[in-house]
Amino acid sequence: MINEQQLVDIFEEAGLEVYEGYSGRGMYGKKCSGFRSDNPIAGIINAVEVALGFLEEPEMTDFLKALKFAQMDQLGTRTIVYFPRHVAYDE
């Protein structure tokens, strides 16, 4: 499985605004990482382009699965895309 740090590295390399420690709906206080964006679809595409450049199998397949289960919440005028199946830590 792709780990939390690999997700963060991909987001950073893609030029996305990383948001660590997000607790979304139904996470019951558990936290994970994601990214904030005005255009989350473009952010996902940028992340995939970066991942294609340095992930190999089976990590690339795991990354695509992580995207499949990504969640989005509105944060004012921006959107956070987060990955609750990749919970990094509990409070």
Domain definitions of the chain by residue range: 4-86
Angle between helices 4-13 and 59-68 (to 10 degrees): 80
- Between strands 78-82 and 32-37, the pairing is antiparallel
Residue 85 DSSP symbol: G
pLDDT tens, the chain, 91 aa long:
788 889 999 999 999 999 999 998 888 889 999 999 999 999 999 999 999 998 999 999 999 998 998 999 998 899 999 998 765 444 4
pLDDT of the residue at 87? 58
Three-state DSSP class for residue 78: strand
